[in-house]
Structure 1
């Protein structure tokens, strides 16, 4: 039997490895060391058994691409991971697994699978991975980046109810917030006109970021800043860097061994920690100033509102004063980046589609007229304006992948088992470009959100995913939508935008926490000049 096995093994060497004469070499070797044949037989038997068990386990794992040792699939994701995730879904299905460093990651794609996970199984997908980078955000007190727990649920409940009370329809603070947006939008129009003087073309990115930052600072601190304020410019730089590092994902989180020796990733991670410390210190100082002048009878801004409910809350819920600063930090980071990026894309798409811009001008002139500025009360009558905003969010999907989730217990999506504590990536871009949900998803068409009567199709707008869904849905989404609408409506009412004639407006972008357009230039004209033919 051993002789027969030996012959078969030698034949296999010749055929599989293409080594002619391999069998004679082995015969010579085995003749000299005949006792080793038994050991070889045992070794081959257990090797085959081990491979069989491994293959059986792999069949139980989720489908997915081959992962390389040490790095896994990290090098295969490219500069636009959301596009790679969508392409892989065509091969492996909407629920598949990749490996990043030493971590297995489940990627969810498509409207049906993602909503099944985030809404039907919201608790099971409400966790956050125990990433090193997450622990350094807001001193570990961030509601956005901390894991799901009883304390987290209390933190979120308090934050949601506070924001809801602050922005309720009849509240004084809501009116003040809207007035701040109108003031900043008017200032933005003047900035655009100054930059456009004498036919000059400019990139509106900085002005849009300043405007959005001033609104969120007024909301949180009751204060706006001058465009050249040193403290203010430092704040904007920190938030921008934060979006780049978090959105790109820290390789140290999935490959912790990178901290062991000097390399570019280690330097980026060190800068990330320093950035978070500086930003959190800035927020802490502002909240400290508020505590020193806090009056429970007067709510000046969101810092006061959070001090009133978190600082004064029952200590049994585990929340501390640090959670106040953490909540304010979350609101600033999310509100500033989301709003400024949305407006950035809106201006680009207005200039890229002048025929749509003309229809929007006609629409807003009919509803608002020329004697006043648009207000939030006009929103119900400006369906085409809202449709343009929703199509911008859907088409660009400027928050392509949510902050990573993790499973809080074993669960199932699309019939596939996902174990507890699994890192999960949610590909929002795939939801907004799902051909089963959207006709011609790669075509920019705001009218898709209008029904036959020209009214906004709210059922369809609910299908757009930009603020996530379920228990991790952005708590400031309604505030952001109000801000985006008012900024856009006022800019549209006052200005006409035109692209630089020597530049083809590209939809290419940089990847981070949000997708930002590459450099482009436009000019703005006061619409009164255009309408009078001057």
Structure 2
């Protein structure tokens, strides 16, 4: 038939297929333009409602792409610039999706805290349903079962890492910090520069492996290292503004977004299988009443919430609403491990970046540690209150970097009014945390790195100001692992500074740029590491 038509197989691919793709694209453009005109006539760029509420301001949206091309590599900076023109509450379009953007501490808290339940939802994004086997606490939709899941995870974290469990967390971090120093010295013998990012990710993940599974992963575990190396792709796919979710039609033909989609699916599948194998090992030797690690605590908690015989009375009466199946153990661990290693390793990258950028500050922090801790032991969590300069440095790093600039996208669970604007149910909401931490109305010279802003005149830490740094969201979706992450970050930073001196690579100027995703990190940099006390060597954990 092809010969009869005068087309070979190669001619078909070269002549007919491109024409078909072009025709399909033109059809999509026409359909989008019709939908765009209809939406524009109904509500304009800012929406509005038939009840007469004000229209949300916002930039002009283009057909097919909306405002996606305006966001650039750093959407949080774009949103901050838009807020100066349209106010702290405005609307954009990404593809056909309308998105409300919240900026500024007052607006964000009015939404997430004062109207917490109405802003606690998650969008029905395809990528969200792939995370943690579809039972993710971080990405799951707001429901009665989700609330039960959150209470379960919160109580488990408190039991393992709070109260009497703080010793276990400190032991895991102290041990891993010393292993990290050993890895640094192997990678950079005699002060040779090296890139620390991969080791930071492995150390942060291994703290969570020790807490969740009772054992760390081996340094030469190829699968573990490969999965950690792919975490940046995960962030690009689920971060606010991802074309993957707001323009799903891009999956229909070859393009970089479709390739990212397939990588994302594979990463989620592989990481969940990795976690499942670790949990299965623990489940095979699990004994009720014996808590060895977080997986054991989760197994016990989920067991009490299972529908049917053995579960609680509420679950037996309404299993479709309240029951939690055994797979929620794997899902909870998957969330905890993935989130904790990503945020902690990103924060540590910024910590080291600023230490090598500011050697004088590094020296003063080392002197404070020597004065308070001495040289005979490692810093402990209970030293924190006596190390105000170190804490101020950490909080300024969190504020300045704002390495989680946008929260995971929210969605309204019901019609809600905010600042005089009526938002319908299922409205996608982006929360710009960066705008809170760089608000000139609150912070003097927010673009300057000044740890002293967190110190009172008497030298003590201004804890009220420190607590106002927004990095872990707020309201009903506030990160469960906030205190866990802050404790880890303090211990890692204190031990690294107590034991090591860090120097920038003189042959490589530090870049002011960063890489964007769900978390933002400094661009790859190298540094050199030497022990502060070479005669004594690395102090062993107590």
Q: Which residue, 295, 303, 312 being the options, matches 2:295?
A: 303
CA offset at residue 55 of structure 1? 6.0
In 1: Cα distance, 2:469 partner to 2:300 partner: 34
Is 1:283 the counterpart of 2:288? The answer is no
- Asked if 1:151 corresponds to 2:145, the answer is yes
In 2: Cα distance, 1:263 partner to 1:56 partner = 29
TM-score (norm 2): 0.85
Equivalent pair of 2:191/2:530 in contact (CA under 8 Å): no
Aligned to 2:190: 198
Relative to structure 1, is the Cα distance of residues 236 and 98 closer, same or farther in structure 2, using a 3 angstrom cutoff? Answer: same
Of 85-94 and 277-286, the range deviating more from structure 2: 277-286
Residue 462 of structure 2 aligns with which residue? 457
Give the alignment's TM-score, normalised by structure 1: 0.87
Q: Does 1:260 align with 2:252?
A: yes
Q: Which range is displaced more, 213-222 or 407-416?
A: 407-416
Structure 2 residue runs of 5 or longer lacking an equivalent are: 1-38, 49-53, 308-314, 316-321, 538-542
Indicate the SS of the match to 1:96.
strand
Indicate if the aligned counterparts of 1:311 and 1:324 stay in contact, CA closer than 8 A. Answer: no
Q: Partners of 1:505 and 1:57 in 2: how far apart?
A: 42
Partner of 1:484: 489
Q: Partner residue of 2:403?
A: 398
Name the CA distance, whole Å, in 2 between partners of 1:167 and 1:54. 50
RMSD between superposed Cα atoms in Å: 2.1
How far apart are residue 505 of structure 1 and its match?
A: 1.7
Cα distance in 2, alignment partners of residues 336 and 234 from structure 1: 14
2:202 paired residue number: 210
Query: Which residue number corresponds to residue 110 of structure 1?
Result: 104
Q: 2:59 — aligned with what?
A: 65
1:351 corresponds in structure 2 to 356
Is 1:241 the counterpart of 2:233 in the alignment? yes
Match of 1:520 in 2: 525
Q: Distance in 2 between matches of 1:472 and 1:235?
A: 26
Tell me if 1:416 matches 2:410.
Answer: no
User: What does residue 26 of structure 1 align with?
Assistant: none
Q: What residue in structure 2 maps to residue 185 of structure 1?
A: 177
Deviations 1:411-446 (A, max 9, x none): 222332222110000011111001111111111011
The aligned counterpart of 1:99 is: 93
Q: Which moved more, 1:260-269 or 1:473-482?
A: 260-269
Whether the 8 Å CA contact 1:238–1:279 is kept in 2: the answer is no
Partners of 2:190 and 2:282 in 1: how far apart? Answer: 45
CA contact (8 A) 1:367 1:381 kept: yes
SS where residue 455 of structure 1 aligns? coil
Consecutive unaligned residues of structure 1, counting only runs of 5 or more, are: 1-49
**Bigger CA drift: 447-456 or 243-252?**
243-252
Instruction: Call closer, same or farther: CA 1:256–1:199 in 2, change over 3 Å.
Output: closer
- For residues 431 and 136 of structure 1, the distance between their equivalents in structure 2, rounded to whole angstroms, comes to 30
Q: Deviations over 1:64-91 (max 9, x none)?
A: 0000001100111001111001000000
In 2, Cα distance between the equivalents of 1:181 and 1:93?
A: 43
Cα distance, 1:168 vs. partner? 2.3
CA contact (8 A) 1:250 1:269 kept: no
1:525 aligned counterpart, secondary structure: strand
CA distance in 2, matches of 1:54, 1:524: 59
Report the CA distance shift for 1:113/1:530 in structure 2 as closer, same or farther (over 3 A).
farther
Deviation at 1:249, TM superposition (A): 4.7
Matched, 1:270 2:262: yes
Determine which of 129, 132, 146 is the counterpart of 2:123.
129
CA contact (8 A) 1:142 1:330 kept: yes
Higher deviation after alignment, 412-421 or 325-334: 412-421
For 2:244 and 2:527, the matched residues in 1 are separated by 39
**Aligned residues of 1:106 and 1:422 also touching (Cα < 8 A):** yes
**Correspondent of 1:441 among 434, 443, 446:** 446
CA deviations on 1:85-114 (whole Å, 9 max, x unpaired) are: 100000000000000011000000111111
Task: Give the distance between the partners of 1:210 and 1:52, measured in 2 at CA.
Answer: 53
| More displaced stretch, 250-259 vs 130-139 | 250-259
